[in-house]
Structure 1
């Protein structure tokens, strides 16, 4: 159980929440990752006096998120979670790859204390910036009694790292849980639990200790009308270690793409079928390539990457 006097550590990584624009009326023509995490905290008076500690782990637009930053972030989160005085972690992040970072941390750490990712769809200089409220809410989630696991807190809703997806390019409520199962809601600073805090089996940091330059290469290909196997064959020629196919519907693949993926599998690459649909699982069927279950293509890629690192 969390206690209200325990320390919450805020780790900054950049993103729109730390972005600025030339004018307050510009909500899209901004530059991400301009403000430091201390600046973000100073803009939230409701957090004054709470036991907080801030560290800048990275400063980037999350479209540029990479393995080296994931590795550094996971190590920082693990280090702070081991401190007995720390009750939880909040990570400020960009929205573009937030769901990927959340899933990566979930699979690597599966923490017993809460790790809460938050972000913003509008820059800090916007007329109605959403970042301050999201940051305030994330801290309340990190301090909630019994909170645990990796979750995402935005627009008053708390999502499980395994389900959360960005489903809109502009709205402030841009994130949804794939099958609609919210973990909690944050209402006027109070966390109302709707389900269970996530848990999982941690793969451990040892699996990602390898230098990032030596990590396996895993790519995603998309099924579409007229899809063929040329991209897959080019990836195999480039030495790819794994391929996730974002299929149509229940992971269906055009015949030429399916044939090329089977060639890749025979050549030693791992292959998984996911779906380009916003939600729903891909089921294993006789004679079909292996399915990714309910994982989205980007999360299936992370799962395959971690499996290859572990092996």
Structure 2
């Protein structure tokens, strides 16, 4: 079911989907973020009948995503969703930090209309680019009268912001929703829902409105064999307000690191414990364990902790 008479806004941020290479057969040595979102639309003739509005918010390789771009993107998404003529928003994005941006937008805005991030693993100049089909599928989802929340679309799968994670560095089927599975799929232009659409309590734009230079500093450290406390001690000395530890297995943390984290937590540092495993998250809370990030990936746990600190500061 689609709202064909309503407008879809496409916001470009760069990424591989907008990348080009000097050689069409090169799917690795390309430069991301070279084409405008207008160029991406022009490469998909099937979008010619869709009422679209395009805006370039940023033009970068998503490995270089910044808090400033997140803030601007959230503000533009909110502004467009507030328009009665807009059915949904599509964001073209790089794959490296897509899951982080998705979680940031979902927690900040929790939109009732669909906000759909899409991407590509091959540049636009590839012999077989995957971006055009992903973009067409993303617009299909954004047009839906039933889809809602922040979603990610790639290879025909519709993944919720909470669940999506990049699980492969090269293949075009690089994204997974882990144990949760996709919320829907797109088949030949048809959206097929599989489970309820994601819900969240919006923190609101006020929580992220302050100058990003004043945002809390939140870092990420990794537990591993032979881990020592120096990374935690350095974070504390640098004045960080939050720290996520990427634990092994079910969020377990090397004793040399764990003691330093408990000490830092007692001194006021906010800490979350995630898992470095490709699938699953942190289950349970043993006595004395550091606070859990649940099913969030370490990267999304850092975003969550940042947003919690921002929300606290704005109240």
Aligned length: 311
The alignment partner of 2:228 has SS state of coil
Q: Partner of 1:275 in structure 2? A: 275
Superposed counterparts of 1:1-311, under 5 Å? 3-282=3-282, 283-311=284-312
Moved more, 103-112 or 260-269: 260-269
Moved more, 139-148 or 112-121: 139-148
Extract unaligned runs of 5+ from structure 2. Answer: none
For the 8 Å contact 1:2–1:87, the answer to whether it is kept is: no
* Partner Cα distance (1:287, 1:49) in 2: 58
The alignment partner of 1:179 has SS state of helix
* Partner Cα distance (2:309, 2:66) in 1: 17
* Partner Cα distance (2:291, 2:2) in 1: 41
Q: 1:77 deviation in Å? A: 0.1
For the 8 Å contact 1:181–1:195, the answer to whether it is kept is: no
Q: 1:180 deviation in Å? A: 3.8
The alignment partner of 2:179 has SS state of coil
The alignment partner of 1:124 has SS state of coil
Residues 115-155 of structure 1: CA distance to partner in whole angstroms, max 9, x if unpaired?
A: 00000000000000000000000000101221111000001
* Partner Cα distance (1:89, 1:196) in 2: 20
Moved more, 277-286 or 291-300: 277-286
For the 8 Å contact 1:156–1:185, the answer to whether it is kept is: yes
* Partner Cα distance (1:241, 1:23) in 2: 45
* Partner Cα distance (2:263, 2:214) in 1: 24
Moved more, 169-178 or 272-281: 272-281
Residues 273-307 of structure 1: CA distance to partner in whole angstroms, max 9, x if unpaired?
A: 11101122312221111111111111111111011
| Aligned-CA RMSD value | 0.9
* Partner Cα distance (1:289, 1:176) in 2: 27
Relative to the length of structure 1, the TM-score reads 0.98
Relative to the length of structure 2, the TM-score reads 0.97
The alignment partner of 1:115 has SS state of strand
Q: 1:2 deviation in Å? A: 5.4
